[in-house]
Every structure is written in structure tokens, then in C-alpha cells.
Structure 1
Amino acid sequence: MTTHDHPMQLFRMKTTPFTWMEILIISWVIGKIWEECKDIWSQDIREYISEPWNLLDFSILTIFMTSFIARLMAFWHAYSAQCYVDKHYTDLSNMTLPFEIQYFQLARINWMPSDPQLISEGLYAVAVVLSFSRIAYILPANESFGPLQISLGRTVKDIFKFMVIFITVFVAFMVGMFNLYSYYLGAKHNDAFTTLEESFKTLFWAIFGLSEVKSVVINIDHKFIENIGYVLYGVYNIIMVIVLLNMLIAMFNSSFQEIEDDADVEWKFARAKLWFSYFEQGVTLPVPFNLVPSPKSIISLLLGIREFLCAVPQDKGKENSNDEMELNKLRQQEDLSVEASLCPTRHQKIMNRLIKRYIVKAQRDKDNDEVNEGELKEIKQDISSLRYELLERENHDMETLAELIRQLGEVIRDQQKGVQRHKLSIHS
């Protein structure tokens, strides 16, 4: 006979226990928590918080643990009720149980809204959705999805800017419509705007065109209130749907285009950052196998115990000798630091090469960039000034040419007069 066939078993004892899949997820969550604790221990807490992915991991693990704790509480309550039944009853078929025990025999539709199992299932669904977003962490490794993921991540900033205006307008109309229709509960076509909750639902789904126009209709003859409702509801749709949503789309297009121009460079930096994260000192085994002690962790523990046991206080003579040895070590370290400062390290050489490569690429991009509007204006001004200079030079050259022609004509006339005088002198 199985536990499901046991006549004394409560209904909740069949639905509350963890499944094998949930047990695997619990082991993964515990291993991930251990990994995050080691990360916090190995680095500063400020550095840990500054990384957005760490905040996402913290949120996922917190929601998962809250869900599992609520599920464990539900199981504990059901188990306590089962122990009470096993102790005081022999058959549940014709027994009248106390309400505290009878509750664990009820079907799901009769559970209280604050039941720990319902809360656990809701939080578990949220955690599963967030856990799938963790896949975006490895997308920069792919050449196709990496630039797209970076571009979409940058547009999130535009959403936060837009949310300030959106929330302001939304709250203003929500409170206004609630104040207008809060007195007409039961006197409307539906319950829209009669409570703050209904006002929120109606205005929110109106953004997607899922709210009815009849939401502002009143069953009694109060046309002035109804007309004011029509006007406010229409203005809300114009502002939110036509103005703000189109503004958000335009912001997305502008931001996405700006990022798309440098998406290749941004993706390469993101991919290099992802590579470096795997080069850093971390856990030996992946989650959840990191819960099993590795040889490295065992050796580190033994070395730590040995260092702790060997830290025995020394006598004064040995302390003096130790002080001299420490001074010599400090001097040697200072000498090494001076030599290291004079000789560039491999890291410094690599950084210098990267800086030079960046400068050369920036200069090349600047030379190859298309002409912008400012440069076009400068070119137009240069052409106009060149045109005026050419016209002035042409006028000056024409005047000079006319002067040369006049002088040449005078010279020719003088020569002709001289020739005539010479001929007359010969004849005479």
C-alpha cells in the first residue's frame, strides 16, 4: 500500500512535498548561493554590487529561496496536521475534523489567498522567468546575437527616462478618473474607475486597446459627469497612445541607430570582458557540483589549519631576528618595486599597444568618416570666398590687360610717327 492509498492521509500531504525536479533546482540554488558567497568574500562588496549581473543573480536566488521556504512552511503545516490526525483518529471518512485540520483536506479552490503554497508557486514562477534572462550573459560570445544584445541593453536606459513621464501622466489620469467615478459603484456598465485598482487596470490595458469605451458610461442621467469622463478618457488615449508611445518608439530608433554604428567595437569589448570573467580565480567545479569538496579546497583548508597551528609566539630574541629579517624583506621588496617601475611589465606593454591601436583606429575612422553638415557649410563658405576672389582677380586682370593694351597702342603710335619722320627726312 502506498502513501497515496493510505486512508488517513490528508489531501495536502499529496500536493505539498517537493518533486525530484524541484529538489534538483534546490541543489542548484544552494550551489549558486555558495558561489555568490565566495565571490563576495574574494572581492569588495561595492565591486560586487557594481556588476548588474550580480544584482540579477541576487534577485533570482532571493526569490527562489523565499519560494522554497514558503513551500517548506506549507509542508510543515500539512505534516503537523497529519501527525495530529494519526494520533487522534483512525478513519477520516465519517469524522468531523477541526477547522485547522479540515483546511488541509480542502481542494485548491477553497484555499486562503495567503496560503504559503500559493505564495510559493507565484514566487517560483517569477524566479523561473528571471532565471531564463540569465542566458543573456553569454550572448556576447556569439557574433550574431552579441551586438543585438548590447543594443537592446542600451535601450533600457531610454525606457527609464520614458517611465518618469509615463508614470506622471498615468497617475494623474488614474486619480482623476477615480475621483470622478468613485461615487457610482454599481451604477455603471462595469466597475471601471470605481476603485483605484479598477482605474489602474482600465487605464493600463487602454494603452494596448483592450479597454472598452463603455467604461465611462453611467446608467443614471448624469450627462455632465459622463461627458467629462469621455473627454478625460479621450485625452488620456491621445497623450499616451499617440504622443508618448510614438515618442518612445522614436527614442528607440535613435538610440538603436547610434549604438548600431559602433556595435562591432562594443561587441568585441563585451566579448573580451566575458572571456576575462572566465580567466579570473573562481570555483573549480560548476554549480551544483561545487557543493562537493574539491581537492583544491581540501588542500587549502589543510594549509590554513597548519598555518594557524604553527603561529606560536616566539621569544624576544627570535622576535628581534624576525624583525631584522622583515626589514631585509621590505628593503628587497622596495628594490624590486623600483626596478619594476623602471622596467615596463608585460601588462604595461599590452596596454600601450592597445592604446596605440585605439588612437590609430580613431584617426583612421576620422579620416574615412563622411562629411558632416558643419564641414559642408565650411566647404560652401570656402567656395563662395574663392568665387569672390576669382571675380576680383578677374576684374583686376582685365584692368591690367586694358592698361597694357593702351600702353602698347601708344608705343605703336610713337613708332609709326618715328618711321614717318624718318621717311620725310630721307625724301628731303
Structure 2
Amino acid sequence: MSKLESETETKLSMKELAQRFENLAHDVFGSCYQSSESRSFTLLIRKSPVWGATTCLQMGTAADARLFFSHDGVQSLLSQIWWGDMRRSTEVWRLLLTFFCPVLCYTGLISYREEEEQKEEEEHRGGDFTHSTYGTTVFSFSDIKHMGGPGGAADVLTLCSPGVRRRSAPAKRPFIISRWRQFWLAPVTSFLGNVLMYFLFLLLFAYVLLADFQAPPPAGPALSEYILYFWVFTIVCEEIRVTFLVGSLSLRQRLRSYWQDVWNKCDLTAIVLFIVGLTYRMFSWSFDAGRALLCVDYMVFTLRLIHIFAIHRQLGPKIIIVGKMMKDIFFFLFFLGVWLMAYGVANQALIYSYDPRPDRIFRRVFYRPYLHIFGQIPVEEIDVGKQWDMECTSNITEIEGGAEPCRNQYGNWLVVILLVIYLLVTNILLINLLIAMFSHTFSKVQENSDVYWKFQRYKLIVEYHSRPSLAPPFIILSHLHLFIKRHIRRVPSVKVHHFVLELKGKAANRLMTWENIQKENFLSAQSKLQRGSDSERLKRMSVKVDTVLKQVSASRDYEHRLRALENQMEYCSSAMSWVVDTLVQSNMAKPSRDPPTFRESFAGSTTSN
């Protein structure tokens, strides 16, 4: 929602709130993952009926929740999807060797997870499921391959129900077919196949441009060039399938999602350049222009290799850093362009009083000042006071005809000063500014490079998970197979359940109950941790100190009151003693028969008073 907000303050507050909820999602999922791995996986791929039948992974992708995707539980699910039925500990060289020699998939060279699953099933059968809230998750082809037959969603619920044995497939495939599908339907196999075939595509493209680019029809193109055309055609077919035929979004949402990806823009640019270059190449009048466009297009196709290596743990973060630095270069080029234009126009006007040819103006205003930054300074143009052996003319007619104009010697001193200032600003100020920007970007991204890489890894896994097992140009066979299977035989896709799973009835209720239990456990643990934290201890200590201070102040008030009462008592006792002495003296002065005692005198005086 923050992406749709226009006000800056509201957008920032919404981003802060989104970051808070992302942290909560990360922590709650961590609690779920510690409790049960399979159930936490199901939480990630379960359709949410509240949020438009979307999943947690889809919402995290839309919200750009990199921290959530960096969780070990999310990455563990992605690794299992990436490797399919093969073990994650399988070496890459084994996959490459099996890719070139497919028969090896039936040997022990590739290890599968069947033995682990059998052990888990035996443990589940021997265990007590009466208190289980959910069963196993669905993430591999072996778990869902039987869902394509009759039963459909009911089979999914059967898989998800606790204590219920899986329904057997309508017809169990032979070992040869099942093992073949286990190897070739894994996304990692599709990725390696696409990488190898893409290298062959670049080699073929380079061979056509360098050694076999023949003249326009009817003399050309050659056979290798026709193969290249067909290869690009299969790439275009795959782009169309991914953009318009995969997913349940509307056409507008698909186009928007496609355009938001930088690499999709790169693919679209490469395809458009290839089509335009191919069109120009077919005519004699535009043959050279078409070849030039195809050469530029080869560069774009080659740069596409950067995206392929994003799956690598060491190269992936570096690719992200390079992408961030490209933005810094655009800011640098803006400042550099200002100085190039300022110096180039002034330099050209001072050295040449009249030179109307646009090609020479462009070279001397932009191209040569740019080369000055790297030390290529033509002394014969700057120091015009010396006599150089060059033919020139001051005739306007000859200059307009293409002759070299003579240089003006009047402003030579000013040209040298401008050159010094230009080199000072560009070579020292702007270049060091660019280096500082690169250093800042590198240090900023390097701290969170692992988080960025894991988020990028998810996108790459989703991309190759939806791709057919065959790579271009053989992908056309997969397209024909998918067309017959989806549109003629009307067989639904079962591979989609790796990332999207729909639960209904008791299975959904049990899963939500378990999720709520984990949420409450997490909140209680957080509250305990918060109470036991240092800040809470300091707060409690400050409260106790305040209470003690209040008690001390109250005791001081009591002490002052007691002292005042003591003073009053002393005053009263002294007054009473004075009164008694006075009465005694007055009684002694009167004659009496029998002198009264002290008690009688005191009693008599009290009665009279």
C-alpha cells in the first residue's frame, strides 16, 4: 500500500509499519519452523482465503520482504523445490555428467530422497497421530504426481490429512519412466540445461556475426543463420508463454509484473533489436545497418548471462552490488555531462571561429573532452601558437565543403586555463566522488548481501520452476506437449502445487489451529523476554527506588512531627512545673492549722481554678 501512497509522510509511516509486520512474520514463522518443518512449509504455500487466494510467498514478493525470505525455513523449502526428488547434497558435476549422458540417471551417480521418505513414512506409521494437527507437506514431484488423475483436490486433502495413508496412483509408472521424470523435471536440471544451451546460442551468434554473415537474399542467409533465427523464435515463444499463459493474474497485472523486472526489459530489448536487425539485414540498402544492430544485440544477449549467475552464493551478491552501482553511475554521468557541455562548447568556440559540420562539432564538444579525462589531450589543438604541419583554410566556402578550418590563436591562453579547470574538476573532484559513492554502496549492500541474494534466489527458482525441462531450441517440443496436454486433453498442471496449495475442511482448520498455537507461544515468549530484558529491569528498579524515596520522605515527615510533639510536651511540662511551683509558694504564704500536703495543695488549686 505504501507504493500507491503519494504523500511522503504517510508513505514513510506505512513503510515503518510494514517493516514492523515483516519482523513479526519472520519471528512467528521461525517459531513455526522450530515446531514442525513440514507444517511451516505448508504455511508458505497455502492459499489464504482472506487475502484474495494468495500465498505468504506471493505477498512477501509483492511487499519486497527480503528479511522474511532470508529465513532458513523459507530457504529450506526453496532448496527442496529447487532439487526436486534429488538430494540437496548432490554435486553439480554429477548433474552435468548425467546431462550429457542421460543413462547415468538410472545408476547410483545421482542420489534421490526416496530412502529418506521411506524412513519417514515408517516412523509416521509407527507413531501416534491422535494429537497431530497436520500431516506432511507437498513439495516434490513424487508427492504430487498422482494428483493429475481422478480425485484432483481430494487427493490433496488426503495428503494433508493426519494419520491417513496416501492414495495410490491410478497406474504406477515403470521405474525407467519415473526415474527419468525425477531427474528431468527438477528445476535445477532445467537451469543447467538452459545455461549450457545459452552458451551454445552465444557461440552460434558469434560465429554468424564473425564468419558466416552472408549478403542479403538471394545470396544469403546461410544455414547457420537460419538456425539462429529459429533459436531466437523459440526464445520468443517462451517469453510469450511466461508472460501471458502462466499464472492467474489479469492481463494488465501480468504486463505490469513483467515490466517491473529489469531482466525482462533486457530480454525485450534484445528481442526487439534482433527483429529490427533481421528486417534491415534482408535488404541491400539497409544491410550494414542490420548487421550493426545485430552486433549491438549480441552484447545485450551476452549481458543476460549476469542474471543466470545470480543463483551462485558468491557471485549473486556481487551482481546485486553492480546493479546498485549502475544507479550511482547515472548520477555521475549527469554531473559529467554538465561539465562536458560547458567545457566542450567553450573550447570549440574559442579554437574554431567557424566550423558548421555537425559530425566534427559532436566529436569536439563531447567525444574529445571525454577522452581528456583519460589523458588523451591533443596538444596540436590546445597549443595553437606553435606551427604544426597541418593544412587548413579560413575560406568559409571551403570549410562548408569539408576542409579543415584554421584554429584561432586569440583565445589560446583562455583555452589552456579552461582545460586546467576542467581536468581539475573531472579527474579529481568527480572521479573521487564516484569512488566514494561506490564505496558507500558497496559497504551498504555488503552488510545485507546475504539477505538480498536470498530474495533474488527465490525469484530465480520461481522462474526456472515454471520453465519446461527442455531448453531452447528444443523447448518448442515442450510447448507442443503442453499445448496438447492443457488445451486438448484438459489435464491440469500438478507442478503448480509446489508453490500454491489449497486446503479445505478439517485440514485447513487444523493447520490454522496449529498456527494460532505457535503464535500464542511466540507472543508469550516475547512477553517473558521483554519482562526479563535489561530495560524492563531498569524500569522496575526505578519504580522501586521511587517507592523507597517516597517512604523515606514520609518517614522524614513523621520524624519532624515527633520532634514538634516533643517540643510541645517539653513546653507543657515546663509550664506545668511552673504552675505547680507558683501554687505551692502561694499556699505556703497563707497561715493554716495543718499544712496541707502536696497532693492536697495541688488538688485544691485545681478545684479553685
If the length of structure 1 is used for normalisation, what is the TM-score? 0.55
Look up the equivalent residue of 2:474 and give its one-letter code: F
Aligned equivalent of 1:248? 434
Superposed displacement of residue 337, structure 1: 9.5
Aligned equivalent of 1:261? 447
Look up the equivalent residue of 2:228 and give its one-letter code: I
Structure 2 gap ranges (5+)? 1-213, 386-405, 491-502, 535-609
Q: 1:118 to 1:336 in 2, by over 3 A?
A: same
**For the residues of structure 1 that align with 2:372 and 2:219, how far apart are their CA atoms?**
39
SS at match of 1:195: helix
Q: Is the 8 A contact 2:236 2:271 kept in 1?
A: yes
Look up the equivalent residue of 1:344 and give its one-letter code: M
SS at match of 2:353: helix
Matched, 1:31 2:241: no
**For the residues of structure 2 that align with 1:282 and 1:14, how far apart are their CA atoms?**
36
**For the residues of structure 2 that align with 1:46 and 1:229, how far apart are their CA atoms?**
51
Matched, 1:344 2:512: yes
Q: Which among 487, 509, 532 is matched to residue 301 of structure 1?
A: 487
**For the residues of structure 2 that align with 1:278 and 1:215, how far apart are their CA atoms?**
57
Q: 1:212 to 1:20 in 2, by over 3 A?
A: same
Aligned equivalent of 2:266? 56
Q: Is the 8 A contact 1:177 1:229 kept in 2?
A: yes
Superposed displacement of residue 282, structure 1: 4.1
**For the residues of structure 2 that align with 1:139 and 1:345, how far apart are their CA atoms?**
41
SS at match of 1:253: helix
Q: 1:33 to 1:193 in 2, by over 3 A?
A: closer
Q: 1:290 to 1:14 in 2, by over 3 A?
A: closer
Residue deviations 1:138-191 (CA, integer Å, cap 9, x gap) = 2122122122212212111211222221212212222222332342559xxxx9
Matched, 1:217 2:383: yes
**For the residues of structure 1 that align with 2:446 and 2:316, how far apart are their CA atoms?**
12
Aligned equivalent of 2:369? 203
Superposed displacement of residue 16, structure 1: 5.3
Superposed displacement of residue 202, structure 1: 0.9
Matched, 1:146 2:316: yes
**For the residues of structure 2 that align with 1:222 and 1:138, how far apart are their CA atoms?**
55
SS at match of 1:73: coil
Aligned equivalent of 2:287? 117
Q: Which among 291, 304, 307 is matched to residue 476 of structure 2?
A: 291
**For the residues of structure 2 that align with 1:231 and 1:41, how far apart are their CA atoms?**
60
Q: Is the 8 A contact 2:352 2:408 kept in 1?
A: no
Q: 1:341 to 1:18 in 2, by over 3 A?
A: farther
SS at match of 1:18: coil
Look up the equivalent residue of 2:255 and give its one-letter code: I
**For the residues of structure 2 that align with 1:192 and 1:342, how far apart are their CA atoms?**
76
Superposed displacement of residue 117, structure 1: 1.5
Q: Is the 8 A contact 1:178 1:196 kept in 2?
A: no
Residue deviations 1:354-384 (CA, integer Å, cap 9, x gap) = x99xx9xxx9xxx9xxxxxxxxxxxxxxxxx
Matched, 1:17 2:185: no
Matched, 1:234 2:437: no
**For the residues of structure 2 that align with 1:221 and 1:178, how far apart are their CA atoms?**
10
Q: 1:258 to 1:245 in 2, by over 3 A?
A: same
Look up the equivalent residue of 2:256 and give its one-letter code: R
Superposed displacement of residue 302, structure 1: 2.1
**For the residues of structure 2 that align with 1:193 and 1:289, how far apart are their CA atoms?**
47
Q: Is the 8 A contact 1:192 1:202 kept in 2?
A: no
Q: 1:212 to 1:294 in 2, by over 3 A?
A: same
**For the residues of structure 2 that align with 1:12 and 1:157, how far apart are their CA atoms?**
41
**For the residues of structure 1 that align with 2:358 and 2:420, how far apart are their CA atoms?**
15
Aligned equivalent of 2:400? none
Matched, 1:130 2:300: yes
Task: Decide which structure has greater helix share.
Answer: 1
Q: How well do the aligned residues superpose, as a CA RMSD in angstroms?
A: 3.9
Q: 1:193 to 1:238 in 2, by over 3 A?
A: farther
SS at match of 2:512: coil
Superposed displacement of residue 290, structure 1: 3.0
**For the residues of structure 1 that align with 2:513 and 2:326, how far apart are their CA atoms?**
40
Superposed displacement of residue 303, structure 1: 4.9
Residue deviations 1:204-238 (CA, integer Å, cap 9, x gap) = 11121123233223367954411111111221111
SS at match of 1:130: helix
What does residue range 71-110 of structure 1 map to in structure 2 within 5 Å?
71-74=281-284
Residue deviations 1:236-256 (CA, integer Å, cap 9, x gap) = 111111110111011111211
**For the residues of structure 2 that align with 1:197 and 1:278, how far apart are their CA atoms?**
46
Q: 1:21 to 1:194 in 2, by over 3 A?
A: closer
Q: Is the 8 A contact 1:184 1:194 kept in 2?
A: no
**For the residues of structure 1 that align with 2:359 and 2:414, how far apart are their CA atoms?**
13
**For the residues of structure 1 that align with 2:268 and 2:506, how far apart are their CA atoms?**
43
State, as a whole percentage, how many aligned pairs show the same letter: 23
Bigger mean CA offset, 50-59 vs 237-246: 237-246
Superposed displacement of residue 284, structure 1: 5.5
Higher RCO structure, 1 or 2 (CA under 8 Å, sep 6+):
2
Q: Is the 8 A contact 2:350 2:412 kept in 1?
A: no
If the length of structure 2 is used for normalisation, what is the TM-score? 0.40
Structure 1 gap ranges (5+)? 1-10, 75-114, 305-334, 368-428
Residue deviations 1:269-316 (CA, integer Å, cap 9, x gap) = 22232212222x344642222334532212333257xxxxxxxxxxxx
Q: Is the 8 A contact 2:216 2:281 kept in 1?
A: no
Q: Is the 8 A contact 1:16 1:71 kept in 2?
A: no
Residue deviations 1:327-371 (CA, integer Å, cap 9, x gap) = xxxxxxxx969995895399x89x98xx99xx9xxx9xxx9xxxx
Q: How many pairs align?
A: 271
Residue deviations 1:401-427 (CA, integer Å, cap 9, x gap) = xxxxxxxxxxxxxxxxxxxxxxxxxxx
Aligned equivalent of 1:164? 334
Q: 1:341 to 1:45 in 2, by over 3 A?
A: farther
